[in-house]
Amino acid sequence: MAPIRPELAGRQPSLAAKVAAVPWPLIAVITLIAAIGVMQLHSVAAGAPAPWAERHAGRFALGLIVIVAAALVPLGAWLRLAYPLYAVALMLLVLVSLVGIESMGARRWLGGGGFSFQPSEVMKVAIVLALARYYQWLAPERVSHPLYVALPLAMILVPVVLVLRQPDLGTAALVMATGLGLMVLAGVNFAYFVAAGAGAVLLAPHLWAGLHDYQRRRIEVFLDPGLDPLGAGYHITQSKIALAAGGLTGRGFGEGTQSQLDFLPEKHTDFIFTMLAEEWGLVGALGLLALFALAIAMLWRMAIACESRFARLVIAGNAIVLFLYVFVNVAMVTGLVPVVGVPLPLISYGGTAMTTILAGLGLSAAAYVHRQTRLRRGDVAAWP
């Protein structure tokens, strides 16, 4: 094997050039989004910076510094870290299934004392890095070779199954969708995905027949919350009422009485969009969506500009993650998809989700800063 010299082909740019190359417009957009989050958390707490708004702001400020720092790290370092990070994430997932903290019937957390975190969050970042790393190594003519399609599929399915068993359907679906999306973008022949889709449609009834009654019931409720009107459906009803109360222009900042007063759950986390839409109306809601769309579009443009497959796929993977978060969260609070517990990036309160999103953006920035770096197959060993 050739030695690992990922930066061989491109010269390492100077620090000043790197700082100038940081995608500042993207950072400006996400800062704006996070500022909206701080404002909204202020309102959720009935007009007080505590307990959420100030901590949210603090976390984001810290995150910004980390993003810029991560952006300056040479791409080769991230490339080398990709597989080890994936292995660590996988081990943590196994660990959580053995000694995880059980809460509300699911084992998702690791930790002790006052500190706990979800290994599945680490996996969201790690799967993007690992797949990008894999396709950097893989010879382009083999991309659609069955064996080399099976390999990344296994890399996706192992963590997905582990997360499913926690059970955390939402995160499992997110990791699965991100992984498959990356395989599409890596250039895997589209026929595979068409065949897999057709196979899933054909196999579904058989799988269905093999399930236990209680499992079927769970899936039925998942697909149709109306079957369980007081469970998930009840929250959605509350959410819809609050959205309608907001109307076109909203009730005004801090005036979202429907959300403030009523039974809307998780106002500061998963359902924060509802409150924003009640207070700022359709105008405010679409404004925020437009900011997210802008950030996502910027990421795609950044991805296309990169020379190496690794850089392209890292950015693309994070564009997918950001889009899925926003889409699933807002689709959830508007009753388009079942309640799965996915937060709204940079707006919802919560350390883990913020860390995941910012880590992804930091990696994307790093990839973009080093977009001219050419990585060649010979420079990248199979492992690590």
Q: Are 101 and 111 in contact (CB under 8 A)?
A: yes
- Closer Cβ to other proteins, 32 or 66, answer by number: 32
The answer to whether residue 145 forms part of the interface with other proteins (CB under 8 A) is no
Shortest CA distance to 13 belongs to which of 361, 357, 307, 381?
307
Q: Are 125 and 363 in contact (CB under 8 A)?
A: yes
Among 60, 292, 310, 349, binds other proteins (CB under 8 A): 292
Per CB under 8 A, which of residues 53..92 are in contact with other proteins?
Answer: none
Among 47, 376, 381, 384, binds other proteins (CB under 8 A): 376
Among 20, 65, 244, 381, binds other proteins (CB under 8 A): 244
Shortest CA distance to 302 belongs to which of 286, 319, 285?
319
Number of residues that bind other proteins (CB under 8 A): 62
- Closer Cβ to other proteins, 165 or 377, answer by number: 377
Which residues are CB-contacts of 146 (< 8 A; sequence separation ≥ 6)?
A: none
Distance CA 60, CA 203 (A): 45
The helix/strand/coil state of 257 is helix
Write the interaction track for other proteins spanning residues 21-60; mark x where CB under 8 A is met and - where it is not.
Answer: ----------------------------------------
Among 139, 154, 191, 201, binds other proteins (CB under 8 A): 139
The helix/strand/coil state of 4 is coil
Per CB under 8 A, which of residues 265..284 are in contact with other proteins?
Answer: 265-266, 277, 281-282
Q: What are phi and psi of 191, to 5 degrees?
A: -55, -35
Among 60, 78, 137, 323, binds other proteins (CB under 8 A): 323
Among 87, 150, 198, 286, binds other proteins (CB under 8 A): 286
Nearest-Å Rg of the Cα atoms of the chain is: 22
- Closer Cβ to other proteins, 66 or 282, answer by number: 282
One-letter identity of residue 166: Q
Q: Which among 27-35, 89-97, 253-261, 343-351 is the span making contact with other proteins, rule CB under 8 A?
A: 253-261
Write the interaction track for other proteins spanning residues 182-221; mark x where CB under 8 A is met and - where it is not.
Answer: --xxxx----------------------------------
Which residues are CB-contacts of 238 (< 8 A; sequence separation ≥ 6)?
A: 262, 263, 264, 265
Among 43, 171, 258, 364, binds other proteins (CB under 8 A): 258
DSSP string covering 273-331: HHHHHHHHHHHHHHHHHHHHHHHHHHHHHHHHT-SSHHHHHHHHHHHHHHHHHHHHHHH
CB of 382 to other proteins, least distance (A): 12
CB of 14 to other proteins, least distance (A): 26
CA 119 to chain centroid: 13
CB of 51 to other proteins, least distance (A): 16
Look-up: residue for tokens 């388009």? 336
- Closer Cβ to other proteins, 115 or 213, answer by number: 213
Write the interaction track for other proteins spanning residues 221-240; mark x where CB under 8 A is met and - where it is not.
Answer: -------xxxx--x--xx-x
Q: Are 21 and 368 in contact (CB under 8 A)?
A: yes
Among 87, 203, 304, 381, binds other proteins (CB under 8 A): 304
Among 133, 251, 370, 371, binds other proteins (CB under 8 A): 251
CB of 163 to other proteins, least distance (A): 18
Distance CA 35, CA 227 (A): 38
Among 331, 350, 352, 372, binds other proteins (CB under 8 A): 331
Query: Residue 342 CB: number of other CB atoms within 10 A?
Result: 23
Distance CA 117, CA 110 (A): 6
Distance CA 291, CA 29 (A): 7
Based on the number of CB atoms within 10 Å of its own CB, is 147 exposed (0-12), middle (13-18) or buried (19 or more)?
exposed
Q: Which residues bind other proteins (CB under 8 A)?
A: 104-105, 139-141, 143, 181, 184-187, 228-231, 234, 237-238, 240-241, 243-248, 251, 257-258, 261-263, 265-266, 277, 281-282, 285-286, 289, 292-293, 296-297, 300, 303-304, 309, 312, 316, 319-320, 323, 326-327, 330-331, 334, 336, 376-378
